[in-house]
Amino acid sequence: MTANALKHKARKRFGQNFLHDPNIIQRIIQSIAVTDKQHIVEIGPGKGALTEYLVQLCAKLDVIELDRDLIPILEQQFEHCNNFQIHNADALQFDFSVLSQNNKLRLVGNLPYNISTPLIFHLLENISIIHDMHFMLQKEVVERLTACPGTKIYGRLSILVQYLCHAEQLFIVHPGAFSPAPKIDSAIIQLTPRTHTASLVNATLDNLSFVARSAFSQRRKTLRNNLKTILTPEQIMQCDIDPARRAETLNIDEFVKLTNQYAKINSDI
């Protein structure tokens, strides 16, 4: 690490917590299992803790960093790497399709907690060009992303992510692995786009999001009550779903059925 990197202090407005534990770094690198034919995109490289390993293993590495003061640090550290390119940009606004050519992207990142959920939704819009994603997130967010039906944390976020991806929590990372140390545990999640899913018919992800949000609007109430403004009990039953059930008991395929029903009814109006 360069002298300038050592001087750089983490900034709250960027949600910066720099990873420094060598054991955790190696464990993450091993989990990603990069090959020399792959294109890696790292979001929020920080001071390059993961970057220095990724750049040695992959065919091409693009990093997206918002903090302008980190750009010269990264440029100095990796100036001799021909397969390395920095983009000083906000990942929430970045067009990831410009990086994709013939090969799908593998995305990696220690994501700032304050933007992790909207950023994941932004990335899901580019799912067709993504091979997989490995992210460090707040542990509670990872638990929501990987939650199963019937649990208290299963909800709209679980449904939208799991409709498109297989989501797996790999391991937990404690605060001491970062500088400064956050007040909460983190976790590594692997998101792998699904090749076969229950199909949305004439419906969109926005439709799925709307139906899921409506179904979970009051968790203790039944579908009959929560969906009454968009689907009648009879229309719910046409999906082979009991209107007396609660949203948290439905699996992804059942939410897709409700969304298709909602889209069909609105297309007929």
The pLDDT value recorded for residue 5 is: 46
- Phi, psi values for residue 210, rounded to 5°: -65, -45
* Chain segment 150-168, per-residue pLDDT in tens: 999 999 999 999 999 999 9
At a CB cut-off of 8 Å and minimum separation 6, what does 212 contact? 155, 156, 159, 160, 247, 255
For residue 201, the model assigns a pLDDT of 85
Q: For residue 14, what pLDDT is reported?
A: 45
Instruction: Read off the pTM.
Output: 0.88
pLDDT at 1: 53
pLDDT of residue 153: 96
At residue 3, the pLDDT reads 44
Tell me, what DSSP letter sits at residue 114?
A: G
pLDDT of residue 269: 54
Counting beta carbons within 10 angstroms of the beta carbon of residue 133, is it exposed (0 to 12), middle (13 to 18) or buried (19 or more)? buried
Domains, the chain, ordered by start: 3-193 (3.40.50.150), 205-268 (1.10.8.100)
d(CA 165, CA 150): 19
Report whether 239 contacts 257 (CB < 8 A).
yes
Amino acid residing at 126: N
3-state class (DSSP) for residue 63: strand
Residues of the chain with pLDDT under 70: 1-16, 196-198, 268-269
In a 10 Å sphere around its CB, with 0-12 CB exposed, 13-18 middle and 19+ buried, how is residue 234 labelled?
exposed
Q: What is the pLDDT of residues 99-122, one digit of tens each?
A: 987 789 999 998 888 888 899 989
DSSP H or E run through 269: none
